[in-house]
Amino acid sequence: MCRGCVTAYPAAITALLAFLTLRPLAYDALFALSLLAFGLNLGRFLFSRGVLTDMLFNALLGISLAAVISAALLAPPGERSAIAAIAVFVFIAFNLFKGYRMFATCRSCPSSHKFPQCTVQRPWPGDEATDRYPERDTGTAAP
């Protein structure tokens, strides 16, 4: 499992349970919170990050997901589909953009011809821990 999944989904589940049981905000405020958290999360594309900032952005993404699901569940029936449609559109657009960036990185890798069977992990700027991943396809270990 990736670092994003380990951070985003537990944050989303925890926030969703809190939003649905405590109901601290009305559905429209939850929707606004989801947009705010998602907007803050877009900061991940503006600068190089490390492990801690990645985890923070993934937690924001999880909170955004929980807030929009809560807003859709708590909204009046006439507004549920509109909130769900907006959430699905944003989800698809975000994943297309993130996927495009990921594949652009993969295309610059010397092992790109082996995709998706490649195992080389290319270091991200500002992420010191990724230089320690083994390059198993060449039989050598990174320093």
| pTM for this prediction | 0.71
Quick: pLDDT tens for 91-116. 899 889 888 888 888 888 887 777 76
Structure confidence at residue 98 (pLDDT): 84
**Domain spans of the chain?**
3-108, 110-143
Answer yes or no: are the C-beta atoms of 137 and 119 closer than 8 Å: yes
Angle between helices 51-74 and 3-22 (to 10 degrees): 40
